[in-house]
Amino acid sequence: MILDKLFKKEPKPKMLERVEAFKKLKAEDLLIEEFMIDKKGEAVYLIVTISDCDGAKIGKINIFDYKNSNDKVIFYINNDELVLGDIQIFKTKNRGIGTKVIPILERVAMIYNLTKITGDLFSTDESNLERQVHFYQKNGFKIINGLLEKNIKY
């Protein structure tokens, strides 16, 4: 099995069953599949889907891991921008997954010939806001008045 060769740890069958069921359900919207090993050495599977909703393109990165994570990143395409929406990373926090998500978002932007990735910083917790600023700056975003922007380089 290809997955066995990709991961140091053999993926649990339940995780693979969830991934395969999701892929069948979303087959027409599937854009990118990505495997990774997180900082803890555990297998993580990222699936990017794009749906057409009343003429708008809405995207989602679903994050599958051993813990039945429902973590996801939601974005949409607006003119020449990929706009970050709701980022729901709770169970997979501090495992390097967010850093892996940024290049995937850049690939999506390139597929759609977009010029930049934008979004808003938002947090009700000051320490979390500091972590967000550090994360986005580390990944090449400019932050001006709470707005994120990263130009796409082709």
The string of pLDDT tens digits covering residues 81-112 is: 999 988 887 776 788 888 899 999 999 999 99
pLDDT, tens digit, for every residue of 37-64? 888 888 888 999 998 888 888 999 988 8
CB 123 within 8 A of CB 92: no
Query: What's the topology of domain 2-151?
Result: Aminopeptidase (3.40.630)
Question: pLDDT tens digits, residue range 59-84?
Answer: 999 888 877 677 899 999 999 999 99
Rg (CA), the chain: 16
State the DSSP code for 139: T
Reported confidence tier of residue 4, pLDDT bands at 50, 70, 90: very low
How would you classify residue 140: left for phi > 0, otherwise alpha for psi between -120 and 50, otherwise beta? left
Q: Where are the domains of the chain?
A: 2-151
Compute the distance between CA of residue 143 and CA of residue 57 in angstroms, rounded to an integer: 25
CB neighbour class for 107 (10 Å; exposed up to 12, middle 13-18, buried from 19): middle
